[in-house]
Amino acid sequence: MRIRSPSLNLRLPRHPWLRALLIALGALLLAGLLTVGLAVGVALLVSGALVALLRRWLGRPRETATARVIEGEFEVIDSRPPLPRARNG
């Protein structure tokens, strides 16, 4: 038994030239999307490397994690009433 989804049922035309044209257009679309995705990825990598390089050259100090930490002693206070105990017996 084979279950098919009606929304995913793609039927190519029966004419061979039209079928070849649609397959070629699909492959062209896929190649275009792949090219754009790779170009965006390379652009992000290059821009990130340039930002890191400029920060190193300009000598801007990095913010340390300890500058944002507030030191102190804390105690957890539970404002909810305690749960009733189970009776065994």
**What contacts 19, CB < 8 A, 6 or more positions away?**
12, 13
Structure tokens at 69: 């930490």
Question: How many Å is the maximal CA-CA distance in the chain?
Answer: 83
Q: What is the pLDDT of residues 40-57, one digit of tens each?
A: 999 999 999 999 999 888
Is residue 6 a contact partner of residue 12, using CB atoms and an 8 Å limit?
A: no
Q: What is the pLDDT of residue 39?
A: 98
Residue 63 has pLDDT above 80, yes or no: no
Average pLDDT of 69-89? 79
Residue 20 has pLDDT above 70, yes or no: yes
Q: What is the pLDDT of residues 23-42, one digit of tens each?
A: 999 999 999 999 999 999 99
C-alpha separations of 39 from 4, 43, 49, 52 in Å: 36, 6, 15, 20
Specify the amino acid at residue 68: R
